C-alpha cells in the first residue's frame, strides 16, 4: 500500500505534470497562434507603414509643390501689389488731370453758354441784317437800273466826245507842228541880244538876223507860223497840255507820233523826258504815261480793260539799240566789257542790226513791233518811271562813253495800248511813239572822217528821209516810201495814212544858233502843210 499509494501519487503527479505540460503546450500553441497573428498583424502594420510612408511622400511632395506655388503666388502678389501701387499713383495723376479737365470743362461750358448767348444775339442781328439786305437789294436793283441808264448815256457821251475830239484834231490837221524856244542859259543871258520874238497870239515866231547889205547893216525878219509857239517861259505842263489830246487819241485807238526836232542843245531831250523824278520838270514821256494810266482807270468804268506795253530803243548809225535790255544779263559782263561791246554794237552795220532787232509790221492792226527788243508789259505808273529812269541812264551812260552819242542817235519810246471791252464786244489798238530825234545840225556836217562821217551820214540819211516822207505825205503821193531809213520804217504806221502826228520844233534862243534855228523853223513850217489823211482808229470791232 504505501508503494501503491506512492505510484498512485507518482501517477497523479505525472498526470498533474502532463496536465501542466498539456496546459503549457496549449498555452504555447496559443501563444504561437498569437505570435503568428502578431506576425501577420506586424506584416499588415508594415504594409500599412509603407502605405503611410508612400502617402507621406506624396503629401510631402505636394507640400513642397504647394510651397513653390506659394512662393510663386507671393512673387506674383508682390508684382501685382507693385503694379497696383503704380496704378494707384497713375489713378491719382489721372484724377488730378480729370480735376483740371473738369475745371476747363466748366470754363468751356461757361464760354459755350456765353457764345450761345452771343450766337443767339447774332442770329437776331443777322435776321435784322438779312431784312436790311433784302431792302438794300431792292434798292440796288433800282439803282442798277438807273446806273445802266446813266451808263448808256455816258457811252453815248463818250462816243460824241470821241467824234468831237477827232473832228477837232482833224480840223487842226493831222500833222501838227509846234515850236518851243528853250530859255537862255545864264551864260547866254550875259551876252545875248534878243533875236527871237514869240508873238502873243501863241502861233507866230519871228527871227531877226543882221545882214550887211550895200555897206549897211540891215535887220532881216523872218516870220513863221505854227499850231502853237511856246516861248522861253513856257513850262513842261503848258507844253504837255497842248499834246494831251493826242495822247487821248492813242487811248481811243489811233497811232500817234510826237517827235522833237532841232539842233543839239535846243531842249529836245528836256521836252521829251525832262526830269522824270520832278513833278514840275518831267517831260512829255512821263506825263503821257501818267495821263494814260489815269484815263485807263476812267475807261474801266465803261467796261474797258487796257494792257500797256512798252519798247524803248535808240537808232544809232541805222542800228537799233534796245534801251530796255535786261540789265541782269548785261551786268554779267564787266563794266569795261560793256563799254567796249556797246561801242562795238553801235558800229554794227544796219544789215547786221536787222538780225538783232527787226521791225515787224502787223498789217491788220497797223502796228509795228521791234522783234528781239524787250517789250515790257506795264501795269502801273511807278513801273514806267523806274523803266524810263534805267533807259535814260543807259542812254546818258553811252553818251559819255562815246562822246555825246545821244545827240547823234534817235531815241524812240513806243507805247502799245491794247484795249478790250467784253461788255460792248469791242477792242482797240492804239500806239504812242515819242521820238527824241538826233541833233539836226549834223545834217550839213562835211569833212568828217571815220566814225564821225558814218554818224553824220546816217543822221543825214534818216532826217532827209523823214523830211522826204513828210513831203510825200504832203504831196498826197500814192506811194510813200518808208523803207529807206530805219526811223521812217519804224514810224510807217505812226507817220502816214491814218496816224496823228505832232512835230515839236525845238529852237535855241542864242544868236549863235540863228542859222540852225531858221532851218529848223523852215522845216517845221513846211511839214505843217502836210496832210496825212483822215485819221482812222485801229482794230475796232
Binding residues for ligand ADP, per CB under 6 A?
182-183, 262, 264-270, 407, 439, 506
Smallest distance, ligand ADP to C-beta of residue 182, A: 4
**Residue 462 neighbours by CB distance under 10 Å:** 24
* CB closer to ligand ADP out of 319 and 407: 407
Judged by CB under 5 A, the stretch of 210-218, 263-271, 284-292, 364-372 that binds Mg ion is: 263-271
- Do 346 and 362 contact (CB within 8 A), yes or no? no
Distance (Å, whole) CA 375 – CA 360? 13
Q: At closest approach, how far in Å is the CB of 262 from ligand ADP? A: 6
β-partners of residue 262 are none
Binding site for ATP, residues? Answer: 262-269
Q: How many other C-beta atoms lie within 10 A of the C-beta of residue 214? A: 5
C-alpha cell at 311: 519798247
Q: Which of the choices Mg ion, ligand ADP, none does residue 183 contact, using the CB cut-off of 5 to 8 A by kind?
A: ligand ADP
CA-to-CA distance for 209 and 197, rounded, in angstroms?
A: 12
Residue 13 belongs to what H/E stretch?
Answer: helix 2-172
**Which residue, 268 or 416, is less far from Mg ion as judged by CB?**
268
To the nearest whole angstrom, how small is the minimum distance from the Cβ of residue 230 to ligand ADP?
A: 8
CB-wise, 267 or 496, nearer to ligand ADP? Answer: 267
**Cβ-proximal residues to 215 (8 Å cutoff; 6+ apart), any chain:** none
Give the 3-state secondary structure of residue 484.
Answer: coil
Which residue number is nearest to ligand ADP in terms of Cβ?
267
Report, in Å, the least distance between residue 437 CB and ligand ADP.
9
Question: Residue with CB nearest Mg ion?
Answer: 269
Region near Mg ion per CB under 5 A, out of 44-52, 178-186, 201-209, 266-274: 266-274
Contacted entry of Mg ion, ligand ADP, none for residue 389, CB cut-off 5 to 8 Å set by kind: none
Candidates 100-108, 267-275, 311-319, 397-405: pick the segment binding Mg ion (CB under 5 A): 267-275
The residue among 251 and 284 lying less far from ligand ADP, judged by its C-beta, is 284
In the complex with ligand ADP, which residue's Cβ is closer, 183 or 389?
183
Supply the minimum distance, in Å, between the C-beta of residue 209 and Mg ion: 26
Instruction: List the single partner that 266 binds among ligand ADP, Mg ion, none, CB under 5 to 8 Å by kind.
Output: ligand ADP
Which residues are annotated binding-site positions? 262-269
Cell, residue 439: 541833233
Using CB under 5 A as the binding rule, whether residue 269 contacts Mg ion is answered as yes
Our CB check for Mg ion shows the closer of 253 and 267 to be: 267
Estimate to the nearest angstrom the gap between the alpha carbon of 407 and the chain centroid.
36
| CA 306 – CA 292 distance, rounded (Å) | 10
Query: Which residue's CB is nearer to Mg ion, number 274 or number 419?
Result: 274
* Cβ contact 193:514 at 8 Å: no
Sign of the torsion formed by the C-alpha atoms of 53, 57, 58 and 62:
positive
152: cell is 448808256
Residue 442 as a binder of Mg ion (CB under 5 A): the answer is: no
Contacts of 431 (CB under 8 A, 6+ apart): 250, 255, 256, 367, 368, 414, 415, 416, 417, 493, 494
Task: Give least dist CB 308 to ligand ADP, A.
Answer: 26
For residue 526, with 0-12 CB atoms within 10 Å meaning exposed, 13-18 middle and 19 or more buried, which class applies?
A: middle
528 binds, among ligand ADP, Mg ion, none (CB under 5 to 8 A by kind): none
Minimum CB distance to Mg ion, residue 269 (Å): 3
Binding site for Mg ion (CB under 5 A): 268-269
Amino acid at each position: 500500500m504505501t508503494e501503491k499509494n506512492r505510484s498512485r501519487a507518482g501517477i497523479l503527479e505525472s498526470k498533474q505534470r502532463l496536465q501542466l505540460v498539456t496546459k503549457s503546450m496549449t498555452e504555447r500553441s496559443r501563444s504561437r497562434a498569437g505570435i503568428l497573428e502578431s506576425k501577420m498583424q506586424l506584416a499588415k502594420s508594415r504594409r500599412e507603414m509603407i502605405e503611410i510612408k508612400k502617402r507621406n511622400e506624396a503629401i510631402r511632395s505636394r507640400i513642397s509643390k504647394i510651397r513653390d506655388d506659394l512662393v510663386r503666388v507671393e512673387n506674383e502678389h508682390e508684382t501685382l501689389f507693385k503694379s497696383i501701387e503704380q496704378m494707384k499713383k497713375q489713378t491719382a495723376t489721372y484724377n488730378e488731370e480729370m480735376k483740371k479737365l473738369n475745371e476747363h470743362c466748366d470754363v468751356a461750358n461757361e464760354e459755350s453758354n456765353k457764345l450761345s448767348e452771343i450766337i443767339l444775339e447774332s442770329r437776331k442781328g443777322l435776321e435784322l441784317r438779312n431784312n436790311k439786305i433784302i431792302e438794300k437789294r431792292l434798292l440796288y436793283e433800282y439803282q442798277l437800273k438807273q446806273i445802266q441808264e446813266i451808263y448808256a448815256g455816258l457811252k453815248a457821251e463818250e462816243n460824241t466826245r470821241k467824234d468831237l475830239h477827232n473832228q477837232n484834231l482833224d480840223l487842226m490837221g493831222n500833222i501838227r507842228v509846234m515850236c518851243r524856244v528853250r530859255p537862255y542859259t545864264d551864260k547866254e543871258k550875259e551876252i545875248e541880244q534878243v533875236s527871237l520874238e514869240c508873238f502873243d497870239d501863241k502861233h507866230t515866231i519871228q527871227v531877226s538876223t543882221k545882214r550887211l547889205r550895200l555897206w549897211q547893216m540891215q535887220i532881216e525878219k523872218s516870220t513863221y507860223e505854227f499850231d502853237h509857239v511856246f516861248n522861253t517861259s513856257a513850262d513842261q505842263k503848258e507844253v504837255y497840255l497842248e499834246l494831251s489830246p493826242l495822247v487821248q487819241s492813242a487811248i481811243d485807238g489811233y497811232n500817234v507820233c510826237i517827235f522833237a526836232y532841232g539842233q543839239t542843245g535846243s531842249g529836245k531831250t528836256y521836252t521829251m523826258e525832262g526830269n522824270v523824278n520832278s513833278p514840275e520838270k518831267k517831260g512829255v514821256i512821263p506825263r503821257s504815261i501818267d495821263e494814260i494810266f489815269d484815263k485807263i482807270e476812267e475807261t474801266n468804268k465803261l467796261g474797258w480793260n487796257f494792257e500797256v506795253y512798252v519798247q524803248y530803243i535808240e537808232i544809232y548809225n541805222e542800228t537799233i539799240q534796245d534801251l530796255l535790255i535786261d540789265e541782269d544779263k548785261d551786268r554779267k559782263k564787266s563794266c569795261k566789257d560793256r563799254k567796249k561791246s556797246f561801242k562795238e554794237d553801235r558800229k554794227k552795220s544796219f544789215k547786221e542790226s536787222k538780225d538783232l532787232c527787226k521791225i515787224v509790221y502787223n498789217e491788220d492792226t497797223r502796228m509795228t513791233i521791234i522783234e528781239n527788243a524787250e517789250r515790257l508789259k506795264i501795269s502801273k505808273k511807278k513801273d514806267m518811271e523806274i523803266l524810263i529812269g534805267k533807259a535814260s541812264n543807259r542812254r546818258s551812260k553811252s553818251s559819255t562813253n562815246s562822246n555825246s552819242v545821244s545827240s547823234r542817235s534817235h531815241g524812240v519810246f513806243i507805247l502799245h495800248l491794247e484795249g478790250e471791252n467784253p461788255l460792248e464786244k469791242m477792242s482797240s489798238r492804239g500806239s504812242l511813239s515819242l521820238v527824241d530825234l538826233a541833233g539836226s545840225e549834223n545834217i550839213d556836217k562835211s569833212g568828217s572822217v571815220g566814225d564821225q562821217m558814218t554818224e553824220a551820214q546816217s543822221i543825214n540819211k534818216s532826217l532827209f528821209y523823214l523830211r522826204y516822207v513828210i513831203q510825200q505825205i504832203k504831196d498826197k503821193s500814192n506811194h510813200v516810201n518808208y523803207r529807206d531809213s530805219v526811223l521812217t520804217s519804224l514810224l510807217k504806221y505812226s507817220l502816214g495814212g491814218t496816224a496823228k502826228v505832232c512835230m515839236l520844233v525845238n529852237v535855241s534862243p542864242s544868236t549863235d544858233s540863228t542859222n540852225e534855228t531858221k532851218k529848223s523853223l523852215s522845216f517845221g513850217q513846211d511839214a505843217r502843210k502836210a496832210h496825212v489823211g483822215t485819221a482812222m482808229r485801229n482794230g475796232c470791232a
